[in-house]
Structure 1
Amino acid sequence: MGSPLLVIAEVDGEACGLVAGDIERDTGEPILISLWVNPRFRGRGVAKALITEVEEWAAAEHGELSLSVRDDNAAARGLYEDLGYEVVGPTPLADDEHPEVTMRKTFES
């Protein structure tokens, strides 16, 4: 698996969310990046469906998936925690003005 993944969710032909997965250059591990859901479609399971797509992509060849999220984004952190992600530490290279944490989910074989 070396190819990045981009998933766009649509409702009635209108883009309502997107997510991307990529391979971290230094570690070769999959990462979830760029999750966004149109505010009009939030609370309807779109984010969970998008994250599930990236998890399936990552699980095909790896036993885990990581992501970074702003430390003060309680809604996003709560969503990831509900889906089984755990904070594993601060995100390297995050700036002091916008600290981030790295979260990781391990998949059962």
Structure 2
Amino acid sequence: MINQALKKIREFHNMKQNELANSIGISNSYLSEIESGKKSPSLDLLQKYSELFDIPVSSLIYFSEELNSGSGSSINKLKVKSRKFLLKLLEWSDSVDEKKEKTQS
């Protein structure tokens, strides 16, 4: 899930993958693998996101917590739902910005 959050954060700030990769000192292909979920970001990389986008690392780590898929506890279900909600909120915000840009053009 953190891969989706990192991608939405980048898109929210209107950055292209290559711009972000250059800003945080990684290759574009590595960033692509992180955003697609093929690779996991390191704590060092999360720190770079934190500094660049002024987001606490703890908020980024919140999305990276592994939930025990065998556990059906209501707390885990709530965590999953809240994470999905936050990602949908970022997606919605991004779509609102795109609509505003289109109407202003």
TM-score (norm 2): 0.26
**Which of the pair has the greater relative contact order for Cα pairs under 8 Å at 6+ separation?**
2
TM-score (norm 1): 0.25
User: Which protein has the bigger strand share?
Assistant: 1
